[in-house]
Amino acid sequence: MSGAREWPVWLVWAILAGASGIGFALAEGLAPAKVAATLAIILAAVKIHLVFDHYMELRWQHRPLRQLLAAWLVVVTATLLTGYWAA
C-alpha cells in the first residue's frame, strides 16, 4: 500500500519527540495554565494517533477499525477538553 501516510520511522519519532518537548515547555510555564493544558491534551491526541497509525500499524487494517479508533480518540479528547473547561 503506497500513499502519503507512509512516513519514515525516524520522521514519526522526530515528530513524537518534538511534541514531547513542546509539552514539557508548556508544562514549565511557557503559556497560561488553561492554554497549556488544552494544548497538552491536543498534543497527546496527535501523539496517540501517530502511535496508532505508525507503530501499531493500524494503517494496514480495515477502514472501519481505523475509523472506529479515530472516532474514539476524538470523543475522548473532546470529553477531556469539555470537562477541563467546564471545571
pLDDT band at 53 (very low <50, low <70, confident <90, very high): confident
Q: State residue 2's pLDDT score.
A: 46
Region 64-73: what's the mean pLDDT? 88
Which residue type sits at 34?
A: K
Region 49-77: what's the mean pLDDT? 84
Separation between Cα atoms, residue 72 and residue 47, nearest integer Å: 14
Separation between Cα atoms, residue 47 and residue 12, nearest integer Å: 9
Statement: residue 49 has pLDDT above 70: yes
Domain ranges of the chain: 9-86
Task: State the cell numbers at 54.
Answer: 505508525
Buried b (16+ CB within 10 A) or exposed e, 18-51: ebeeebeebeeeeeeeeebbbbbbebbbeeebbe
pLDDT band at 1 (very low <50, low <70, confident <90, very high): very low
Provide the 10 A C-beta neighbour count for residue 15: 15
pLDDT band at 5 (very low <50, low <70, confident <90, very high): low
**Is the model's pTM score more than 0.85?**
no
